[in-house]
Structure 1
C-alpha cells in the first residue's frame, strides 16, 4: 500500500479485514475535520455482494473516521481518517459505476458505512448523488450522532437510513459509545418529520443492551414513527475481536458470550409488543 496524501483510485482488492492501521499518515484528525467540497475522501474499503446493508444485493463503501468508540465495534480500524486511503471522488464514482449494472439487476444499490460516513459529509454526498444518477438505491449506515451535518439537500440523495440506536438509556449509551444519545434521537425525529425511510438497528449485547426496559424504551420511541420500515435486532458476536487485538486496543468485552438465537428472538418479540415491525 502506498502511503501518501495524494488521491488514488478506488482499489476493490482492499478488504475491510486488512488491518493496515495507518494508510494515509498525513491525513487530518477526525475531530474537527471539515469536508464541505468532497473532492477526495478517506476510504477504508469497498465490498460487493452484501445482502445485509439494505435491500437487494449491494456494494458497501466503508469510509474512515468515526466519533464513537463503541465497546463492541467490529471495525475499530476505521476510527481515524489516517486508516483510510485518500481517494479522488471521480475515481471512486468511476469504480462504483462498474458495478452499477449488476447491482441494478439484483434490485440492490450502494451503502455507505464505516466508520461514520457523516464525518466526510461532502465526499459522501457526492458519492450518493452519483450513485442515484446511476440508478442505484442509496443507503446511509450511521449512528446519527452527526446527523445535524446532513442538511435536507444531503438527505434527498439518500433513499434509506440504517440508523443505529445502541441503547434507550442515556447513561448506558454514553458508557457504550463515549458520546451522548440525544443527537441520535434528534436525528431520528427529523427523519420521521421528513418521512425518510429508516431501518433501526439495535445490537443485542448480553448483559449490556438486552434488558427488557432498555429495549422497550427504544421500541416506544420508534413505534410511532411511520417512516421506520424495520427494527433489526443484531446479535452481538466476537468476529471483530481479532481487530482489537491486532491494533493493540483494550477490548473490554473479551469474555462476553455471543448473543443466543433465543435471546435475539425474545428481543424481537419485545419490539413487536410495542408496535414495531421487527426482525
Structure 2
C-alpha cells in the first residue's frame, strides 16, 4: 500500500487550479524560500502519514462538489513523493476527476516515478520563484537551472501549465525581474496563463513558532500600482495573465 506524508488537506479550495478543488498539501520541501507561508512543511519527516485509500475516501466524500473542479496536490513539494502523487491522480482519474500538480519544479532527475506523476497530471501549476539565477539562489537557497530545465521538459511534452509568480517587494517586483521571466515564458508554447500573486505575511507566525527568524519580517504586500504595472508589462508581451 502506497503511503505518503501529508501536511494538511483543504476540502473546498478555489485558488489552486480551475474550479472548486480538494487540495492535499504534502510534507517536505527542498527549497528554502524567504517568503514561504508554510515554513513548517519543510521537514520531510513531519506531517501525518496517510495511505492513498484514506485520502481517496476524503476526496470521494465531496466528489459532487468537485465535478467542475478537481483535485490538486501541492506542498511542500509533492514531487518529493512522486509514487504517492501518481497513485492519487490515477485513482482520481478512475473517479472522473481533474488532476492538478502544484510544484516548484526543482526536479533534479526525471525518474520513472516523477515522469508517471507528471503524466497523471492534467495541469501543472509551476511556481517560478525568480528567473535570474543569482537572485533565485539568494531567495530560495537553490539553483534555478533545474527549474528552467523542468519548464523546458513540460513544453517538450506539451503539458498544460499555469505559471505562478509571487511578487515580493525588493525581491521579484522589478521590471528587470519581469523581463527575465518573460524571456522564459515566451518559450513555453504550453503556457495557458500566468498568475501574479502578491506576497502576503499571513505565514509569519509559523516562522516564529519554528523558532527561526523570518527573513522578510516587516515586508508589506506590494501596492496595487506595482501589481498593475507588472500585469500591463506581461500583457504587452502577449503573455496571458490573470
CA distance in 1, matches of 2:24, 2:101: 10
Matched residue of 2:61: which SS? helix
Q: Work out which of the residue numbers 101, 105, 125 in structure 1 matches 2:86.
A: 125
Partner of residue 27, structure 2? 64
CA distance in 1, matches of 2:93, 2:154: 19
Is 1:259 the counterpart of 2:200? The answer is no
Partner of residue 136, structure 1? 97
Counterpart contact for 1:220–1:274, Cα < 8 Å? no
Partner of residue 96, structure 1? 59
Deviates more, 1:261-270 or 1:50-59: 261-270
Partner of residue 76, structure 1? 39
| Aligned CA-pair RMSD | 1.3
Question: Displacement of 1:151 after TM fit?
Answer: 4.3
Partner of residue 71, structure 2? 110
Query: Number of residues paired by the alignment?
Result: 240
CA distance in 2, matches of 1:181, 1:173: 6
Deviation string, structure 1 residues 206-231 (Cα, Å, up to 9, x no partner): 11111111111111211232210101
CA distance in 2, matches of 1:62, 1:124: 11
Q: Any stretches of 5+ residues in structure 2 without a counterpart?
A: none
Partner of residue 176, structure 2? 213
CA distance in 2, matches of 1:139, 1:117: 11
Matched residue of 1:234: which SS? strand
Is 1:54 the counterpart of 2:17? The answer is yes
Partner of residue 211, structure 2? 248
Q: Any stretches of 5+ residues in structure 1 without a counterpart?
A: 1-37
Question: Displacement of 1:257 after TM fit?
Answer: 1.5
CA distance in 1, matches of 2:234, 2:129: 14
Deviates more, 1:112-121 or 1:90-99: 90-99
Counterpart contact for 1:216–1:274, Cα < 8 Å? no
Q: Work out which of the residue numbers 109, 132, 146 in structure 2 matches 1:169.
A: 132
Deviation string, structure 1 residues 181-238 (Cα, Å, up to 9, x no partner): 0111111111111111100011101111111111111112112322101011100111
CA distance in 1, matches of 2:84, 2:191: 26
Question: Displacement of 1:120 after TM fit?
Answer: 0.6
Counterpart contact for 1:222–1:228, Cα < 8 Å? yes
CA distance in 1, matches of 2:166, 2:192: 17
Deviation string, structure 1 residues 84-140 (Cα, Å, up to 9, x no partner): 101122222222221222211xx1000001100001111111111111111111110
TM-score normalised per structure 2: 0.95
Deviation string, structure 1 residues 135-190 (Cα, Å, up to 9, x no partner): 11111000000273454433221010000111111000011111100111111111
Change (3 A) 1:224 1:275: farther
- Give every structure 1 segment of 4 or more consecutive aligned residues whose post-TM-superposition deviation is greater than 2 Å: 147-154
CA distance in 2, matches of 1:95, 1:58: 12
